[in-house]
Amino acid sequence: MNPILKQLVEERKCNSLDGKSLIDISATSISNVEGELIYKAVQEVKAQTSVETGLAYGTSAIWICEALQKTAQSKHIVIDPMQNAEGTPWKGLGINNLRLAGYESMIEFHEQYSHLALPQLEKSGIKVDFGFIDGFHTFDHTLIDFFYIDRILKVGGILVIDDCNWESIRKVCSFILTNRSYKVWDYVKSDFELTSSRKTLNSLHHFLKKKPSLKSYFQPDHAVYGELLDQISYGGCIAFRKESDDKRLWNHYQEF
């Protein structure tokens, strides 16, 4: 394993910019099991090109670079407007970690909001094999990240979304699975205990499965997400496989 990734994984710390102290990365980094899921997904699609929103200390970026095929074309595109912003904890450490890990030459860094950078990527004509969404965690920003990454993701490619246990992001996952051609490829369970309402929903789903006519009495996303509860148990990090390009008609709408 790359020594910088090993340090991030084993100590959950990285070197400060001057190399004189260690910084705790755990508050804004993916967990080790999430890193392993990302690594496995990047390898599954034999990715040469990837894109990610949300760099922070670079933990997920280094997992991705570690797994990318190493060719002259290999490229990991990273989007984050706050890497060097005043008042944030990252202070250039994500890029510094990528440099220390030896991956700087594979990185195309856009120090920009993802809603501005992603349309430019689509315009450039680039296609990616793998995407990771871990930027601004509201429903609308996550949906916009999904919308644009989907437009540059190859069919068969994998998109991983972090923090799917957040209500805002769960709603995006529900949209993806009901309205778009994606299937869950793999997932990491959330660190959080299922809330009691979710446990009730889970049992309710088992009941509903036997009585489909009752489904219409419940919120659509509960019914849809209920079907996934067995599969992902309110997943923390979900990998979706893209099954086809968007072939919906202009007036398509499915409750989610």
Ligand X SMILES: C[S@@+](CC[C@H](N)C(=O)[O-])C[C@H]1O[C@@H](n2cnc3c(N)ncnc32)[C@H](O)[C@@H]1O
Residue 79 binds to ligand X (criterion: CB under 6 A) = yes
Nearer to ligand X, 67 or 82 (CB): 82
Q: Tell me whether residue 73 is exposed, middle or buried, using C-beta atoms within 10 angstroms of its C-beta: 0 to 12, 13 to 18, 19 or more.
A: exposed
98 in the Ramachandran plot: left (φ > 0), alpha (ψ -120 to 50) or beta? alpha
State the Cα–Cα distance between residues 112 and 78, nearest whole angstrom.
10
| Interface size with ligand X, residues (CB under 6 A) | 22
Residue 134 binds to ligand X (criterion: CB under 6 A) = yes
Footprint (CB under 6 A) of ligand X, residues 139-158:
141
Name the segment binding ligand X (CB under 6 A); options: 24-32, 182-190, 224-232, 239-247: 24-32
Residue 203: DSSP 8-state: H
Q: Is 213 in contact with 221 (CB distance < 8 Å)?
A: no
Of residues 221, 189, 75, 77, the one with CA closest to residue 135: 77
Residue 29 binds to ligand X (criterion: CB under 6 A) = yes
Binding mask 97-126 for ligand X (x = CB under 6 A): ----------------xx------------
Nearer to ligand X, 34 or 201 (CB): 34
Coil, strand, or helix at residue 127? coil
Least distance (Å) from ligand X to the CB of residue 122? 16
* Residue numbers at the binding site for ligand X (CB under 6 A): 28-30, 53-60, 79-82, 90, 113-114, 134-136, 141
